Amino acid sequence: MTISPTDLQPPSLQSRSGGIQVLGYWNLRGITQLPTEARAALRTAAENSFDQPWDLSGIATLDSAGAYLLWSAWGHRLPANLQLKPEHQSAFRRWQQRPLPQVPTGERARPPLIVSAVEGIEQLGDHLLDLLRLLGQMILDLGHLARYPRDTPWKEISATIHETGGRALGITALVGFLIGVVVSYLSSLQLQTLGAQIYIINILGLSIIRELGPLLAAILVAGRSGSAMTARIGVMRVTQELDAIAAMGISPSLRLILPKILALIVALPLLVVWTDVIALIGGAVSANMELGIGYHQFFSKLPSAVPVSNLLIGLLKGVVFGLFIALVACHFGLRIQPNTESLGDETTNSVVVAITLVILIDAVFAILFRGVGIE
Amino acid sequence: MSETPVIRVERVWTRFGDKLVHRDISLQLLRGEILGIVGASGCGKTVLMREMIGLQTPSEGEVALLGQVLAQADARTQQQLRNRCGVLFQGGALFSALTVYDNIAFPLRELRTLDEAMIERLVAMKLAMVGLEPASAALLPSELSGGMVKRAALARSLIMEPEVLFLDEPTSGLDPVLSEEFVNLLRELHQELGFTIVMVTHDLDTLGDLCTQVAVLADQQLVSMGTLEDAIRCEHPYAREFFHGHRARRVLAVS
């Protein structure tokens, strides 16, 4: 016999002269149809008429949930006068026989604030130490490559350059162009009030080549490739692919981490140049429309308005940003634990830390090179 | 009146693109039976089971679960049908972000009508049934050993008191001792709770010890459906190799 779910009869009690009759489907699905008041009513009925005869032979099905409801209503004992179908006895026996200990629900106590603060500092130290270790490993790997150039992972490097650089051309161009247009438009409004329209070339050239280009490219790459690197290394760690590579006698750091770092060191400065060019074009378009400065004038005056050292600073920034984005991405990838939450957390951390670090390094550059390239 | 089968698979064809997986498969399973599905790797055993659960729809033919044709059931009926089934996935598929306790309590909490005290008792009961220590309830799945993962996953699939239990490779990844323990556990639970079991397995021991019905899949077809003896008598080359290979003879002779 199969019960279709529609004709499920909710569990019920009926008081008769000869005692209490229990009817219906006393299983999880039946119980869930029982409102809370009905359960409270069951409890009082069970307490009040515990000594009366109980007739449970009208029950259609009984599972351990249904049995528990009756059993707990009776106060964890069976009534003396109980009629029961033989096949339903085991459900009660399960609750009778096993003294079930309280199970811990797994809620872990939160440590006091001072402890978590100390732990936080310790963790920060851990991160810095691990990053340093990764950097050291990279230098060792480079030393190894200097001695055995045949081991250089050219294929991986070029694939990563394509992945992080080539495929980012579209998005960096779009963002660069729009930022160029916006900066140019805002500056031209201000310059018009001063009557100093021609300085738009200086402002755009300096801000884009020195600051905005490298920063935009780095932030886009950190969000785009940094997260991908973290997730990729993390999943490879979880699925033991890193162990498999190591077991074949191939260094995972040489084959997986070094190529990513080297590739980003190469790809990011190139992306910076690309973003600079597109952003300057965007700026020139806007300047042409707002202030009537011709394209020829804009680009021929650019070299004299912006010292070449600014371009070099921008490129150097690209190299350093690339190094740190890849380092941070690999570092967090190696920390991923085999569960879904950790994968999400570490990928988020990777992107947040990479972008924050990029901005911090940018500030350091601003201090270090404060006398260079600006008259 | 003949009994309604718990599972009825009728003239099922399955195709993935050009690849034909099942060709005209029909079978029925009565209440309380234990069906073992065997077949070569990649012959569509798990796919057939997913079609029985309703996770996948066959290209042709129909599958009825507990008397309801899955393809015709509306969302609510399907939901109710799934509540009456328990599934043990091959890797356990425990939610890695939740503790064992929360994993097992999850389906109960979804009902939204039970109070926490009752949920706690029911979880405690299921933990005891599958032989897990209460202390392991507080652990995360990543902190469990392989055998414990299987047990915790079994407890989760049993928590809704299912009428049908689907097991995908229940003993894979367990050592022989653990795997025998697990088979014994399944047998005891089957006797106690009286559910119907469908399992995909490669393990001859499990098949011989547990299954009352054996379905052999080969060449996209069901080449044998019946008792283990029927399967052993089957003349299909794959079945002969499976049941009469050197290892098989040794295992079956002992049991």
* In the predicted structure, residue A2 carries a pLDDT above the cut 80: no
**pLDDT, tens digit (0-9, with 9 covering 90-100), for A229-268:** 999 999 998 888 988 988 988 888 999 999 999 999 999 9
CB contact under 8 A, A102 and B120: yes
The pLDDT confidence band at residue A225, using thresholds 50, 70 and 90, is very high
Residues contacting B173, CB < 8 A, separation 6+: B146, B150
**pLDDT, tens digit (0-9, with 9 covering 90-100), for A75-114:** 888 888 888 888 788 778 878 776 677 777 666 677 788 8
User: What pLDDT is attached to residue A122?
Assistant: 92
Q: In the block, which residue shows the tokens 């438009």?
A: A185
CB contact under 8 A, B160 and A28: yes
**pLDDT, tens digit (0-9, with 9 covering 90-100), for B222-236:** 888 888 888 888 888
Span A6-16, average pLDDT: 69
Measure the CA–CA gap between B32 and A217, rounded to whole angstroms: 64
* In the predicted structure, residue B1 carries a pLDDT above the cut 50: no
User: What pLDDT is attached to residue B233?
Assistant: 85
Q: In the block, which residue shows the tokens 């601003």?
A: A366
Considering just the CA atoms, what is the radius of gyration of chain B in Å?
Answer: 18
**pLDDT, tens digit (0-9, with 9 covering 90-100), for B182-231:** 888 888 888 878 889 999 988 888 888 888 999 998 888 888 888 888 88
CB contact under 8 A, B97 and A340: yes
User: What pLDDT is attached to residue A8?
Assistant: 60
Measure the CA–CA gap between A310 and A205, rounded to whole angstroms: 9
Give the percent of chain A with pLDDT over 90.
56
ipTM for the complex?
A: 0.75
User: What pLDDT is attached to residue B208?
Assistant: 83
User: What pLDDT is attached to residue B116?
Assistant: 85
Please report, for chain A, the start and end positions of each structural domain, with discontinuous segments joined by +: 5-97, 134-368
Asked if A213 and A176 count as a contact pair (C-beta separation under 8 A), the reply is yes
User: What pLDDT is attached to residue A1?
Assistant: 37
* In the predicted structure, residue B44 carries a pLDDT above the cut 80: yes
CB contact under 8 A, A32 and B118: no
A-side interface with B, Cβ within 8 Å?
A: 1-2, 4-5, 27-29, 31-32, 34, 36, 63-65, 68-69, 72, 90, 94-95, 98, 100-106, 108, 337-341
User: What pLDDT is attached to residue B223?
Assistant: 87
CB count within 10 Å of CB A150 equals 5
Give the percent of chain B with pLDDT over 90.
16
Q: Which residues of A touch B120 (CB under 8 A)?
A: 102-103, 105
Lowest mean pLDDT among A17-26, A65-74, A207-216, A280-289: A17-26
Q: How does DSSP assign A131-182, residue by residue? A: HHHHHHHHHHHHHHHHH-GGG--HHHHHHHHHHHTGGGHHHHHHHHHHHHHH
Q: Which residues of B touch A5 (CB under 8 A)?
A: 77, 80-81, 84
Q: Which range, A54-68, A254-268, B167-181, B234-248, has the best average confidence (pLDDT)?
A: A254-268
The shortest C-alpha distance from B14 to chain A (Å) reads 28
Residues contacting B154, CB < 8 A, separation 6+: B88, B130, B170, B185, B186
Span B136-152, average pLDDT: 88
Task: Tell me the backbone φ, ψ of residue B75, rounded to 5 degrees.
Answer: -60, -40
* In the predicted structure, residue A292 carries a pLDDT above the cut 70: yes
Instruction: Name the average pLDDT for chain B.
Output: 86
Model pTM score: 0.76
Considering just the CA atoms, what is the radius of gyration of chain A in Å?
Answer: 35
Span A172-200, average pLDDT: 93
User: What pLDDT is attached to residue A3?
Assistant: 42
Q: Which residues of A touch B80 (CB under 8 A)?
A: 5, 29
Nearest to B96 among A27, A36, A340 (CB): A340
Closest C-alpha among B131, B9, B117, B29 to residue B70? B9
Lowest mean pLDDT among A280-289, A312-321, B80-89: B80-89
User: What pLDDT is attached to residue A6?
Assistant: 44
Span B235-246, average pLDDT: 83
Question: On the CB side of A237, how many CA atoms lie within 13 Å of its CA?
Answer: 21
Span A318-330, average pLDDT: 96
Specify the DSSP class assigned to residue A251: -
User: What pLDDT is attached to residue A124?
Assistant: 92
CB contact under 8 A, A339 and B100: no
Asked if A254 and A153 count as a contact pair (C-beta separation under 8 A), the reply is yes
Q: Is B192 on the interface with A (CB under 8 A)?
A: yes
Please report, for chain B, the start and end positions of each structural domain, with discontinuous segments joined by +: 91-161
Lowest mean pLDDT among A50-59, A222-231, A288-297, B3-12: A50-59
Of residues A302 and A372, the one with the higher pLDDT is: A302
Lowest mean pLDDT among A70-79, B91-100, B193-202: A70-79
Among the residues of B69-214, which ranges form H helices?
75-83, 100-111, 116-129, 146-158, 176-193, 204-210
Instruction: Name the average pLDDT for chain A.
Output: 88
Span A309-313, average pLDDT: 94
Nearest CA in chain A to B112: A32
Considering only the top CATH level, what class is A5-97?
Answer: alpha beta
